[in-house]
Amino acid sequence: MLDFLIELLKAILFGIVEGVTEWLPISSTGHLILLNEFVTLNMSDEFQSMFDVVIQLGAILAVIVIFFNKLNPLDLNKTAEQRSRTWNLWFHVIVAIIPSGVVGVLFDDWMEAHLHNGIVVAIALIVYGIAFIAVERMNAGRKPSVRTVYQIDYKTALLIGAFQCLSLIPGTSRSGSTILGAILLGVGRSAGAEFSFFMAIPTMLGASAIKLLKFLLSGVSASATEIGVLLVGCVVSFVVSMVVIKGLMEYVRKHSFSAFGVYRIVLGAVVLVYFVLFQ
């Protein structure tokens, strides 16, 4: 019983880390890889690989709940024009996830085998931390040409999707790469953040489905403890994501992403020193 409670406490910690880092541009995958270095869940390697991705389902649900009215094209309270605009938003989101979907399906196993390590995470944290600061300085005083998600056209959506491919490298950050790409393309921070959140729904549902299918096909069965850990992790990531998403949307209305860039550089440097000296 004590062992089970300890595993649930670990799951809560993983859920908190996922809920915070999934939406902030600081890389959830990178943080989970680093957390695994210091906190080890008592589960099979196959389940661990699946857990690190499927725990994102709680975070996805938070986006759906927060933006449900905006994302629901079947809402009868909307006018015909509003429903049409919502459908168009979804079509743009689908176009945006095609690049990373293709690359992810083709190279997922290779990237997990070769890139999911502390050194890669550290370098990605530093490189994209510098990129955030540089882009924010370049755009200082520049007014965005796209202020709402409804103004994002297919070309811009596809290009944002191309930036999302960068997030397949651990430590890059899915939200970070898409928001950074959106800013470079003239999209405002709030609109870029929202579109990034909406892209996360099909992207993360697809990634979770693939990981879950691979786990089922592996023939490894999940224990009751492992299922409990996964459920707790998802619930915690949902609750934490609800708070973080609302906070981030308020933050980007008044501040740049430079602070996240500084955080990434500092964390990346610490991680790099740790893995070089102690691993």
Residue 150 per-residue DSSP state: G
SS3 146: strand
- The values of phi and psi at residue 146, to 5°, are -120, 120
Tell me the β-bridge partners of 49: none
Q: Is the dihedral of CA 151, 155, 159, 164 positive or negative?
A: positive
pLDDT of the residue at 37: 83
146 forms bridges with which residues in the sheet? 187
pLDDT for the residue numbered 91 = 97
Check whether 1 has a pLDDT greater than 80. Answer: no
Residue 279 has pLDDT above 80, yes or no: no
High-pLDDT (> 90) share of the chain, %:
57
Q: Which residue has the higher pLDDT, 279 or 108?
A: 108
Which tens digit of pLDDT belongs to each residue from 24-42?
999 887 888 888 888 888 8
Residue 69 pLDDT more than 90?
yes
Of the candidates 195, 112, 120, 111, which has an alpha carbon nearest to the alpha carbon of residue 151?
195
Taking CB atoms within 8 Å and a gap of at least 24, the contacts of 246-252 are 246/66, 248/23, 248/24, 248/193, 249/190, 249/193, 249/194, 252/189, 252/190, 252/193
**pLDDT single digits (tens) 140-189:** 778 889 999 999 999 999 999 999 999 889 889 989 899 999 999 999 99
187: three-class secondary structure by DSSP: strand
Mean pLDDT, the chain, integer: 91
- Could you tell me the two tokens for 6? 């300890």
Distance between CA atoms of residues 221 and 28, nearest Å: 26
Which structure tokens are listed for 139?
A: 């755009």
Q: pLDDT-based confidence at 110, cuts 50/70/90?
A: confident
Q: Dig out the tokens for 241 from the structure.
A: 């994501």
What does the alpha-carbon distance between residue 125 and residue 166 come to, in Å, rounded to a whole number? Answer: 12
Instruction: Evaluate whether 157 touches 92 at the Cβ level (below 8 Å).
Output: yes
pLDDT of residue 209: 87
How far apart CA 182 and CA 21 sit, in angstroms, is 19
